[in-house]
Each structure stands twice: as structure tokens, then as C-alpha cells.
């Protein structure tokens, strides 16, 4: 009997050891993770996984989020650290990262030199106020960003979303939401070998290389950029993954339209900035009156066939930018005071689209309403930018003068809310030249006319100023200001980010832009409720545990007495 029992124990032990070894082998060779969070904050997107998986060399990431920081930035630091660990799960040793405190040195001159170096290399500083050890407020300089190095390439990554219209807590939460996108997009930017090609169309009065200089420089970090004159060459657009038409002022010829049309039919993508009105800004800047007139560049029928119409009208919006106005008495020294200019709407991008999610306000000038038209069920249409709830639409011709700034406006007349200004179109388009003779356009070429497109995308915007930067002529040359920068308020709007995202949406097939749709819920404590119920919860957390222990001790003593008496 004892021998059988001993034999059974030995067998059981061997089986247990085999099970343990088998489990260890499976766990060391099989990748298995569970993300039980409601917002899936530890789950990388497929696009991110593909990019990390394709790395064939080390990626070094220096993250300047360390040291004594406010609690909000500590939360960002924790999120970045968790994200880096997720990156390493996929890419292994190809991801190397380090957290650095830029204020570590006790030497003020050394700290300032490092601050200047970080700024020169592309990181944007931010001033924050925090409580010091004595309970007072201390101002600190932080550089919430990173540098990513791959082979011989380096790129800065600014992590802080700074939207003046949102609170600091909301901005920090938006920043955390976009961490994966910012890092993955930057890794893709410096690791991609075969860059796609983008063309700016010119020679029909479009913005030149100076007025599109800043966005060209930004796009050039991701794509090869050319400036192309169609000039009736049938296949001239064929090498390009997307084209940008930035505010033509002269009519397109029918052949140029045909070339654009067939480019789209063959899967080409177009970012249209088409204005239906003309305003002389030079006349306004000198204080004179000017007329808003219709501008026709012979593209209306083409856009209508694709599914949109840019109307010949002007939007006024009570949520608008400011312009300087001379309020000094005549004959005295000029005194400029900022005043709201209703013709310059500030657009608050909606959060329901990856192109516009978490963007700063976007500045526009004399935009028009875009209508979606046609019954093509194969075209998906979505409004990307629209005016605010306090909007009205004025028909042209229209007389405009800065003297209108002195007039009182009736808010009740601003009753045409959320007028569309930018629309995305995706699907199969119908050629505007269907049922028309095209022999004159294709004669002598091997071009095959297509009446319907393969699935493709386009975006139509009714205001070219959204992509236009200011140009300042100085003695030392032409100075190109950053796109979206307002020199009067010294504020930078989200114009550049919007255009960049629009181009990424058009040409990127990896789905990386969809990472911007990720939402991490902000679970902020109710400060008013904390103040009102502070004493109650202090008692619950300090007195109640002691009371429970005392009651438990008394009950235990009574039970022992009853048992042994």
C-alpha cells in the first residue's frame, strides 16, 4: 500500500514538473497580452505595429520629461513611459529611449545654454507655475518634447497641445491622446525610404513658392515637393501621389481641366483651395473701401460633378479674429486698438474626424459656404471645417470697409450656424467630361479616357488664406512667417496642422492618421465637490478604519468569552 502511494506521489510530481516546464516554454515563446482598460490605452494600432515591425536599425529617443514637474506633466511622463514599453514589445531593442531633465544642472549658464540648444533644435518651451517647498508659486521652464534619431536623421517631437481655448488640464489630456500618433508619425518620417511626391499647381494665378513657403517646408519633411505647370501636357501629373491647387485667380482651360479630371479618374488625390470671391486686401489695409466680387476660374462645373459647390457669398462670424484699428483722434498720433473683424472667422475644428481632432483654432479670411450636391451614393462626404453657431451669410457684390468695425451688429441676424467651409470627398467619382467629346484633348496620345474613377479622395476648401503664410520683404531678403501666425495677437493658429493632416489623409495608405482618433477619457476630480465634502471624506479615510478595527476587536473578544466560558 505504501509502495503504491509513493509511486503515485512520484508520478504526480513528474506530471507537475512537466506541466510547469510546458507552461514556461509556451509563455516564453508565445506573445499574449490583454488590455482590460475601457479606452484600450495599452493597445497599439495596426499602423503603429507595422511601422515598428519594419525598423531595420536602432531608433534613439531622448525624452525631456523628467525632474521636478507639476502633477499633470508627471502624468504625461508616465503615459510616455508606458508607450515606450509598448513600442519595445513590438520593436525590441530597435527602440532605445532615455528620459532627461533639462534643468538638472545647478549652473544657471549651463541650463540656459541647454535651453537654447533645445529651442534651436526644434523643441518649444512652456512656462508652468507650481508650488515650491514653502508653499509659494514658482515658475519653471519645461520642454515637453523629444528628439528621435534614426541612422543619420533626427527630428524633434513637441508633445504639448497648446490650444488657448482650452484649459491646461484639457490640453494635457489632448496631448496624452495624441502621444502615439506624434511618436509614430515622427518615426515614420525619418525611417521611410521611398518618399511620395506632391505637386503644387501653378501658372493660373495660384499662390507662389513664397506664400506657400512654410507649408512647403513642413511637407518636405515627409514628401518630395515640386511645382508643376500643367501647360496642356496630358501625363504631367502622373508621377504625383497628390496635387495641391492653392487659390487660382485665372480661368483654367478645358484641356487643363481634362488633365486634372483624368488624373483623378486614375486615382489621383487633390487638395483644392478654391475661392469664389475676390477681395482687394491692399485697399482694406490702407483704410479704403473695397468691393467683394465674384471670382470664376472655370472649375465650378468640375467640382459640382464631383459633389460640391463653392457659393459666391461671404461668411460673417461673431467668433472671429482681431485686426488693429486706429482709434486716435484725427491729427494726433495713431493709436491702434484690436477690434473683432467678422470677415475673419476663427474655426473650431470638430473632433469627429482624425484630420481635425485636437487641433487649435483655424484662422480664415472671407470664406464662402460650400454645399454638398449630387446624388452619387458612392461618394462619402464629410464636413471638416465650419463656422460657429453665430454666423450669417452675405451675398455679393458687397461693399466692405474697416469703418464697419464701428457699427453695432444685431446678434439675432447671425442665424445661419455651422456653415461648411471645408469638405472631404471619398469614393468613386464621375468624370466631368462624360458624354462630351474629348478627341481634341487625347489626339496624338495613348491616353485612355475614363468616365469613372477608381476609389480616391479629395478635399475642397473655400478659403486659400488657410494655406497662405505672410511674406515680409526686408533689406536682407524675403522673410516667410509661420503658417497660422497672427502678428497682431502673436498667436499661432492651427492652419499648418490642418493642411498637414489633410495631405496625410489624402496620400497615406497605412492608416496612421486614424491613430489621431484615439480617445483617452479625462477623469478629473470635481474641485467644488472636493471642497464641499472634504471633511466627510477625511473622516471616512481616517476615523472609519480605526472604528472598524475597534468594533472587530470587541466582537472578537465577545466571541472568545462566549466560546470558552
70-114 pLDDT per residue, tens: 888 888 899 899 899 989 988 889 999 999 999 888 888 888 999
In a domain, 557, yes or no: no
Q: Are residues 338 and 475 in the same domain?
A: yes
Last residue of a domain, one of 492, 509, 526: 509
31 phi/psi in degrees, rounded to 5: -90, 120
Domain containing residue 90: CATH number: 3.40.30
**pLDDT above 80 for 11:** no
Most confident of 291-295, 540-544, 552-556: 291-295
pTM given for the model: 0.80
Q: Which long-range contacts does 216-222 make (Cβ < 8 Å, 24+ apart)?
A: 217/480, 218/483, 218/496, 218/500, 219/500, 219/503, 221/155, 221/189, 222/189, 222/192, 222/195, 222/196, 222/504
184 plus 294 within the same structural domain: no
Tell me: do 125 and 144 sit in the same domain. yes
327 and 469 fall within a common domain = yes
The Cα angle at residue 461 between residues 197 and 155, in degrees rounded to 5: 45
Specify if 514 maps to a domain. Answer: no
pLDDT at 425: 95
Q: Which of 352, 337, 384 is nearest to 494 (CA)?
A: 384
341 assigned to some structural domain: yes
Confidence of residue 30 (pLDDT cuts 50, 70, 90): low
pLDDT band at 368 (very low <50, low <70, confident <90, very high): very high
Question: Do residue 185 and residue 203 come from a single domain?
Answer: no
Closest CA to 349 of 495, 525, 509: 495
Q: Read off the pLDDT of each residue in 372-400 and give the average, rounded to a whole number.
A: 91
CB 203 within 8 A of CB 249: no
8 alpha-carbon distance from chain centroid: 66
Containing domain of residue 61, as a range? 46-190
Can you give the length of the chain in residues? 565
Beta carbons within 8 Å of 152's beta carbon, 6+ residues apart: none
Contact criterion met (CB below 8 Å) for 85 and 35 = no
Are 15 and 123 in a shared domain? no
Residue 67 CA to residue 11 CA, distance in Å, equals 57
pLDDT range class, residue 553, cuts 50, 70, 90: confident
Contacts of 351-354 with C-beta under 8 Å, sequence gap 24+, read 353/382, 353/384, 353/424, 353/517, 354/501, 354/505, 354/513, 354/514, 354/515, 354/516, 354/517
Q: How far is CA 17 from CA 25, 305, 562, in A?
A: 12, 72, 48
> Does the pLDDT of residue 226 top 90, yes or no?
yes
Do residues 262 and 442 lie in contact, with contact meaning Cβ atoms separated by under 8 Å? no
Residue 519 lies in a domain: no
Q: Which of 190, 218, 240 is the last residue of a domain?
A: 190
Tell which of 136, 171, 190 closes a domain: 190
Structural domain total, the chain: 3
Give the CA dihedral 243, 264, 254, 208, nearest 10 degrees. Answer: -10
526 in any annotated domain: no
Please indicate, yes or no, whether residues 132 and 216 belong to a single structural domain of this protein.
no
Same domain for 229 and 91: no
Q: Decide if 291 is inside a domain.
A: yes
Is pLDDT of 38 > 80?
no
Region for 540 from its dihedrals, namely left if φ exceeds 0, alpha if ψ lies in -120 to 50, beta otherwise:
alpha
Question: Is the model's pLDDT at 316 over the cut of 80?
Answer: yes
Residues 172 and 274 in one domain: no
Asked, for residue 554, whether it belongs to a domain, the answer is no
Burial class (CB in 10 A: 0-12, 13-18, 19+), 50: middle
Residue appearing with cell numbers 514556461: 24
As given in the structure block, the three cell numbers for residue 267 are 486615382
Which tens digits make up the pLDDT trace of 170-186?
778 888 888 888 999 89
Q: Are residues 297 and 365 in the same domain?
A: yes
Asked if residues 310 and 384 have their Cβ atoms less than 8 Å apart, the reply is no
Same domain, 284 and 151: no
DSSP 341-392: EEEEEEE---SSSTTTTTPPPEE-SS---EEE----TTEEEEEEEE--SSEE
pLDDT at 116: 92
Residues 163 and 139 placed together within one structural domain of the fold: yes
As a whole number, the mean pLDDT across the chain is: 85
In a domain, 276, yes or no: yes
Amino acid at each position: 500500500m505504501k509502495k503504491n502511494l509513493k509511486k503515485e506521489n512520484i508520478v504526480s510530481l513528474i506530471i507537475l514538473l512537466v506541466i510547469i516546464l510546458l507552461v514556461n516554454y509556451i509563455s516564453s515563446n508565445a506573445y499574449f497580452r490583454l488590455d482590460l482598460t475601457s479606452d484600450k490605452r495599452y493597445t497599439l494600432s495596426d499602423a503603429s505595429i507595422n511601422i515598428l515591425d519594419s525598423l531595420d536599425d536602432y531608433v534613439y529617443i531622448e525624452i525631456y520629461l523628467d525632474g521636478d514637474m507639476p502633477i499633470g506633466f508627471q502624468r504625461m511622463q508616465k503615459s510616455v513611459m508606458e508607450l515606450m514599453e509598448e513600442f519595445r514589445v513590438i520593436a525590441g531593442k530597435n527602440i532605445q529611449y532615455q528620459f532627461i531633465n533639462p534643468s538638472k544642472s545647478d549652473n544657471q549658464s549651463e541650463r540656459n545654454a541647454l535651453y537654447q540648444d533645445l529651442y534651436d533644435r526644434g523643441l518649444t518651451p512652456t512656462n508652468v507655475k507650481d508650488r515650491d517647498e514653502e508653499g509659494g508659486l514658482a515658475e519653471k521652464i519645461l520642454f515637453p518634447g523629444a528628439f528621435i534619431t534614426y541612422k543619420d536623421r533626427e527630428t524633434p517631437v513637441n508633445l504639448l497641445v497648446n490650444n488657448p481655448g482650452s484649459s491646461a488640464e484639457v490640453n494635457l489630456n489632448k496631448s496624452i491622446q495624441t502621444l502615439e500618433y506624434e511618436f509614430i508619425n515622427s518615426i515614420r518620417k525619418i525611417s521611410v525610404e521611398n518618399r511620395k511626391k506632391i505637386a503644387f499647381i501653378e501658372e493660373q494665378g495660384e499662390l507662389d513658392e513664397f506664400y506657400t513657403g512654410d507649408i512647403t517646408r513642413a511637407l518636405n519633411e515627409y514628401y518630395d515637393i515640386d511645382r508643376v505647370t500643367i501647360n496642356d501636357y496630358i501625363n504631367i501629373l502622373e508621377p504625383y501621389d497628390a496635387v495641391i491647387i492653392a487659390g487660382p485667380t485665372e480661368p483654367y482651360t478645358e484641356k487643363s481641366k481634362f488633365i486634372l479630371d483624368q488624373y483623378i479618374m486614375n486615382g489621383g488625390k487633390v487638395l483644392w483651395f478654391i475661392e469664389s470671391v475676390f477681395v482687394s486686401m491692399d485697399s482694406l489695409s490702407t483704410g479704403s473701401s473695397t468691393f467683394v466680387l465674384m471670382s470664376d476660374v472655370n472649375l465650378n462645373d468640375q467640382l459640382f460633378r464631383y459633389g460640391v459647390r463653392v457659393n459666391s457669398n461671404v461668411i460673417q462670424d461673431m467668433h472671429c479674429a482681431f485686426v488693429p484699428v486706429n482709434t486716435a483722434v484725427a491729427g494726433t498720433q495713431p493709436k491702434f486698438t484690436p477690434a473683432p473683424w467678422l470677415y475673419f472667422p476663427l474655426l473650431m475644428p470638430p473632433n469627429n474626424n482624425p484630420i481635425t481632432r485636437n487641433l487649435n483654432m483655424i484662422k480664415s479670411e472671407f470664406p464662402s459656404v460650400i454645399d454638398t450636391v449630387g446624388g452619387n451614393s458612392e461618394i462619402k462626404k464629410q464636413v471638416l471645417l465650419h463656422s460657429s453657431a453665430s454666423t450669417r451669410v452675405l451675398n455679393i457684390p458687397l461693399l466692405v470697409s474697416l469703418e464697419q468695425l464701428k457699427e453695432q451688429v444685431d446678434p439675432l441676424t447671425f442665424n445661419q450656424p455651422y456653415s461648411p467651409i471645408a469638405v472631404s470627398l471619398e469614393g468613386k467619382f464621375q468624370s466631368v467630361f462624360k458624354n462630351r467629346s474629348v478627341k481634341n484633348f487625347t489626339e496624338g496620345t495613348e491616353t485612355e479616357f475614363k468616365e469613372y474613377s477608381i476609389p480616391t479622395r479629395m478635399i475642397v476648401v473655400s478659403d486659400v488664406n488657410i494655406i497662405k503664410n505672410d511674406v515680409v520683404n526686408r533689406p536682407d531678403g524675403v522673410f516667410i512667417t509661420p503658417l497660422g501666425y497672427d502678428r497682431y495677437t502673436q498667436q499661432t493658429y492651427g492652419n499648418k496642422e490642418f493642411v498637414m493632416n489633410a495631405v496625410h489623409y489624402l496620400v497615406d495608405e497605412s492608416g496612421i492618421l486614424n491613430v489621431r482618433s484615439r480617445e483617452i477619457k479625462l477623469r478629473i476630480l470635481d474641485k467644488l465637490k472636493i471642497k464641499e465634502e472634504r471633511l466627510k471624506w477625511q473622516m471616512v479615510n481616517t476615523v472609519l478604519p480605526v472604528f472598524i478595527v475597534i468594533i472587530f476587536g470587541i466582537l472578537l473578544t465577545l466571541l472568545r468569552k462566549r466560546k470558552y466560558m
